[in-house]
């Protein structure tokens, strides 16, 4: 499928797309998985095809569910190109060609999608799957982290943007501890994460063995996690402007833990999806009004109100599922050394979480 063919396919089929935009770590992939299992989306059928994308060895992150209570929601149709906003950390990765995110036409967007999948190691999209999708009327769910300018093209799609609202501190805590700290605990997982990160960030000038030596006190102790954030800083010290040579690994990890955890105690700290909502409301209020962008409160998602009103799902069942998801968040935070988020950080169902939970 060439650029013009893909552009026409996008224009002809984007009315079937449903986008769910959220801050990473706040349950987006878990929620999207639940929706596709309980609604009549095309996503599950799309997984029955044998595309390059579905055969990729590292398609599923083994550390997500096991450690951080994060999930993997895949996209066999567009290979996660829109889900990732064409990014794989160009700000940290060396020698990676950036993809245009300023597309103003479907043809420009198609060119970006094809450039992205080739950069990620795929030769082409699944033509057979895309052909079958074009001949049917079921909706297809796509997750997003960011609303980028090209989303204005999807004026016939349904776009949900979740805003943290009064729970911004708690969702921010989840965002940072899951997406930045992202710990692993076993020796095998730590070495595996280091090896993948070393290849990903392409710091070939320093032998991998040097990093193993530096990390040894953490690698050998399975009661002490290794943070993904630690590897980001260690392999990209210039980007973070941190003199790693002046710190041992325990000092470095303690500093990063404090940086991530303590900033959420400030009432002025409003990172996570509030920034995206503010960006939309300030610079693109016309998108919200004209292009089917629906702002949804995190509270309404959690309580099942949104799933019930939009998809006809049982409100109580959805709510109970979210409670179980959030209880696993508590276990995750406790293992990280955050025994209990302060009561000043507003959370849904605060009374459910006793000191022993």
pTM tops 0.75? yes
CA of residue 239 relative to chain centroid, distance: 22
* Helix ranges (DSSP H) in the chain: 3-13, 28-38, 43-46, 62-63, 106-119, 127-134, 168-176, 187-201, 208-219, 228-235, 237-240, 249-262, 273-283, 285-290, 298-302, 305-311, 315-335
Quote the pLDDT of residue 179: 84
Checking if the pLDDT of 69 tops 50, the result is yes
DSSP symbol at 65: I
**How many alpha carbons lie under 13 Å from residue 81 in its C-beta half-sphere?**
27
Torsion-angle region of residue 121: left (phi > 0), alpha (psi -120 to 50) or beta? Answer: left
The whole-number average pLDDT for the span 311-315 is: 97
Quote the pLDDT of residue 327: 87
Checking if the pLDDT of 152 tops 80, the result is yes
**How many alpha carbons lie under 13 Å from residue 240 in its C-beta half-sphere?**
17
Quote the pLDDT of residue 271: 46
Checking if the pLDDT of 288 tops 70, the result is yes
Checking if the pLDDT of 343 tops 70, the result is no
Q: State the chain's mean pLDDT as an integer.
A: 84
The whole-number average pLDDT for the span 243-249 is: 92
Residue extents of the structural domains in the chain:
3-166+271-352, 174-265
Q: Which two tokens stand for residue 324?
A: 């179980």
Residue 303: partners with Cβ closer than 8 Å, 6 or more residues away = 315, 319, 322, 348
């Amino acid at each position: 499928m060439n650029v013009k063919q893909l552009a026409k396919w996008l224009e002809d089929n984007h009315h079937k797309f449903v986008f769910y935009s959220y801050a990473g770590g706040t349950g987006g992939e878990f929620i999207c998985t639940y929706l596709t299992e309980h609604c009549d989306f095309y996503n599950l059928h799309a997984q029955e095809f044998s595309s390059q994308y579905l055969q990729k060895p590292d398609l599923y992150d083994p550390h997500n569910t096991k450690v951080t209570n994060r999930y993997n929601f895949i996209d066999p149709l567009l290979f996660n190109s829109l889900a990732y906003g064409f990014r794989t950390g160009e700000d940290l990765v060396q020698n990676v060609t950036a993809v245009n995110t300023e597309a103003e036409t479907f043809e420009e967007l198609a060119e970006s999608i094809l450039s992205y999948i080739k950069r990620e190691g795929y030769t082409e999209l699944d033509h057979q799957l895309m052909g079958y999708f074009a001949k049917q009327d079921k909706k297809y769910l796509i997750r997003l982290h960011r609303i980028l300018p090209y989303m204005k093209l999807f004026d016939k799609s349904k776009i949900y943007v979740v805003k943290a609202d009064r729970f911004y501190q708690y969702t921010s805590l989840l965002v940072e501890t899951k997406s930045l700290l992202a710990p692993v605990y076993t020796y095998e997982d730590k070495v595996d994460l280091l090896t993948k990160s070393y290849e990903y960030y392409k710091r070939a000038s320093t032998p991998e063995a040097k990093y193993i030596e530096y990390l040894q006190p953490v690698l050998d102790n399975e009661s002490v996690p290794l943070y993904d954030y630690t590897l980001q800083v260690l392999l990209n010290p210039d980007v973070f402007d941190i003199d790693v040579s002046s710190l041992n690994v325990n000092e470095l990890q303690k500093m990063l833990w404090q940086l991530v955890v303590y900033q959420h105690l400030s009432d002025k700290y409003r990172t996570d999806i509030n920034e995206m909502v503010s960006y939309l409301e300030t610079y693109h209020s016309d998108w919200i009004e004209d292009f089917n962008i629906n702002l949804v409160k995190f509270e309404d998602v959690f309580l099942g109100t949104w799933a019930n009103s939009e998809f006809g799902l049982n409100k109580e069942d959805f709510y109970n599922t979210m409670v179980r998801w959030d209880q696993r968040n508590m276990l995750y935070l406790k293992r990280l050394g955050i025994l209990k988020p302060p009561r000043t950080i507003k959370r849904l169902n605060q009374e459910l979480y006793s000191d022993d939970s």
